[in-house]
Structure 1
Amino acid sequence: MERKENENPDRLSSFSDDLIVSILSYLPAKEVAQTCILSKRWRNLWAIVPSLCFDISNWDGDSQKFNDFVGKFLLKRDGTTDTQIFRILCQGIMHICDNFDPVYSEANNWITYAVKHNVRILELFFCGNCALRFPVSLFTCKTLETLKLELNNRNFMKLKPSAVHLFELRNLHLVRMNFANDNLEKVLVGCPNLLDLTMEKCVLNMSEFSCHSVQRLRIVGPYTFNKTISISAPCVQVLVLKCHMVVRLF
């Protein structure tokens, strides 16, 4: 039986470049790059995808291959295209690593790239015990609206932010980070328009802190040396507490 003409049309060919790029934004960067071999039309579309997700699990935890891929991807990407979403996922793979791990040595360059390309949503997940220092530009990024950090119980101030000025930041999600004394306060003061604050499994070695602009506050499974913590949050509308300490909200 003869197949009718146009019985199985190539629907992707009818899509606009903008629509294809939008679809590619939902894929991991490794798969995005692989689309360049599909046809001449697809050869350069990967280079203008605005949402980037680099996941080390796509490389079976091989730090060197992952590092080489990210570096080449960013080098060959269209430099005029903004980076709306930038994710680096190194969870559950590098439980044991040293200070010479290539992922950690290059992390600064990747984050700097995202900041220079006007990143709006930045999500960084690192495990292991490597020394990690973020670029100063991260803490003064003028376009950053959402920041999510999971850093395996590192002290935030050891990331060496000389100052925190994130005036556009609306959402801050912190996982497994250490805060002591007034460290958290210094961060929140530098985010005057913050609306949503989530802290999961963080060490909160303090008796009080303030988050004056926050409307949605979530504290889940914190570790603390104090049985009571006082929080000044006059604008809070949604409060989620899952912890074994007394929280005084005022």
Structure 2
Amino acid sequence: MAAAGNSDGSTRRQAQEIGDRLSDLPDNILHHILSFLNTNYIVQTSVLSRRWRSQWENVHALNFEVLHHHCHVRQAKFREHVVEFLSRRGGPDDSAAVSSVTIDVNNAAWELETDLFDTVMKYARTLRRLGVHGSTLATFFYANFDELAASLTAHRHHESLEALELGRCSLQNGDAFGSVGFGSLTNLELRGCTFSSCCDPFVGIPRLNRLKLDSCSLSMCSLKISGLELLSLEISGVYSVRGIDVVAPKLKSFVFHNYSAACLENLELPSLDRAIVRVYWGDRRGPDAARIQKNEEYYMKLLRGLHNATSLTLRFDKIYYWKWKEHEFPFNNMKSAMESEASPFTRLKILRVEYPLDPPPITLHDHVIRYFFERSSNAEEKIVKFEKGKTS
């Protein structure tokens, strides 16, 4: 019993020492740490001590999020929390200016109210980062980007925003971003968004250098992605009946994770340096043999579009790890396709094959090595790796 008591006392002292060390940090570091927390939690720090009483009022990043374990919270309750938090925080003077806002109702069964969004935008003075995530539980409802954009322009945030993240948002206007006039926006991330009318929606963002499309639906429209300053592009889980054209003269990094490469119509990437690709292949031994052949054609077309890459990573999913032996590795089975055309790669130096588990004993056949390195100016320095990756 005594030993247990001593252990408990030691644990309490250690906790107090850690707490004291945290309290001794400068205010700006404390504010940065608190900026990663939900607003529900940062308010609670005010009861820790006199030092902490008003620290939450000076946090520059506000995260209003319906947490997973609060998924049944009523819409009125969430609204009450947001309004009360802003009123208790006080006026947005220069010392407590809000530079980042996240409003996330992803776990709620209702949609974000436009007037509540406007209340937050009115409170914030000069935003540099904004994240808005609609509900995935309210299946048939998406946040309307036109309504969000109207609030942004009314409070002039469109001029200062550098990073914008949208989730479950409906983009009905083909020039949705260009019509807003995002003069400072460099980073745009869209998750689960729908495009009703697609032309070249990103061309109107002159300084955009990073774009990510995740689980977006293009429905029956084709999409063109062009950007004179675009440096990084990631496309993941995008559904498209028509196709996607990418024209980016300065693009350095391209990541493509998709069910099929069929949606990619044209790639013009003259400055490409690094490419990471993962597409679904199917099981050659099953009923999908015809689809696999078609997917191989799409894959070859994709590789031709990546011909300027110096580093190429091919990722494969866990499900195929157990199916493939050396002779079943996809590229080893594509001899006729790879020998029927000249290698498109002129600068390739590194070819990496990633698996989610420990790499199986696979070697690439000669025709595969020739296809990737035959015309490369870096062929003498080529590096081929099979390694454990981060794919799921």
Which bracket does the TM-score occupy, shorter chain normalised? 0.7 to 0.9
TM-score normalised according to structure 1 size: 0.81
Whether the aligned pair in 1 keeps the contact of 2:178 and 2:203 (CA below 8 Å) is no
Letter in 1 for 2:41: E
The answer to whether the 8 A contact 1:167-1:190 is kept is no
| Residues 106/120 of structure 1: CA separation in 2 closer, same or farther (3 Å cut) | same
> Structure 2 regions of 5+ residues with no counterpart?
1-8, 269-392
Q: Within 2, Cα distance between the matches of 1:13 and 1:236?
A: 44
Mapped contact 1:108–1:135 kept (Cα < 8 A): no
Q: Secondary structure at the residue paired with 1:53?
A: strand
Aligned-pair CA distance for 1:217:
1.0
Q: Are 2:50 and 1:40 equivalent residues in the alignment?
A: yes
Task: Tell me the CA shift for residue 238 of structure 1.
Answer: 0.9
Give the secondary structure class of the aligned counterpart of 1:35.
helix
Percent identity of equivalent pairs: 26
Does structure 1 residue 138 correspond to structure 2 residue 149?
no
The 8 Å contact of residues 173 and 197 in structure 2, kept in 1 or not, is answered as no
Distance 1:135 1:74, change over 3 A: farther
Say if 2:265 is the partner of 1:247: yes
Letter in 2 for 1:88: I
Which amino acid in structure 1 is aligned with residue 132 of structure 2?
A: L
- What root-mean-square deviation, in Å, do the aligned CA atoms of Structure 1 and Structure 2 show? 3.0
Note the alpha carbon deviations across 1:52-91, whole angstroms, 9 max, x for none. 1111126443122111111111122241122222111211
Distance between the aligned counterparts of 2:178 and 2:208, measured in 1? Answer: 20
Name the SS for the 1:61 alignment partner.
coil
Partner of 1:72: 84
Larger relative contact order (Cα-Cα within 8 Å, sequence gap ≥ 6): 1
Aligned partner of 2:185 among 162, 169, 191: 169
> Which residue of 51, 54, 59 maps to 2:61?
51
2:72 corresponds, among 43, 47, 61, to 61
Matched, 1:121 2:129: yes
Report deviation, 1:229.
2.8
| Count, aligned residues | 237
TM-score by length of 2: 0.54
Q: Is the contact between residue 212 and residue 235 of structure 1 (CA under 8 Å) also seen in structure 2? A: yes
Stretch moving more, 131-140 or 26-35: 131-140
Compare CA radii of gyration and give the structure with the larger one: 2
Partner residue in 1 for 2:108: 93
- C-alpha distance in 1 between matches for 2:25 and 2:223: 56
Whole-Å separation in 2 of the counterparts to 1:200 and 1:105: 27
Structure 1 moving runs of 4+ over 4 Å: 6-9, 101-105, 180-183
Q: Is the 8 A contact 1:142 1:168 kept in 2?
A: yes
Query: What are the ranges of 5 or more consecutive residues in structure 1 without an aligned counterpart?
Result: none
Q: Secondary structure at the match of 1:87?
A: strand
**Partners of 2:128 and 2:160 within 8 A in 1:** yes
Aligned to 1:29: 39
Deviation at 1:109, TM superposition (A): 1.9
Map residues 165-244 of structure 1 onto 2, 5 A cutoff: 165-182=181-198, 185=200, 187-204=201-218, 205-206=221-222, 208-226=224-242, 228-243=243-258, 244=260
Task: State the one-letter code of the partner of 2:72.
Answer: G
Query: Structure 1 pair 138/181, CA: closer, same or farther in 2 (3 Å)?
Result: same
**In the TM superposition, what whole-angstrom CA distance separates every residue of 1:5-28 from its partner, at most 9, and x where no partner exists?**
x99653344333333222222221
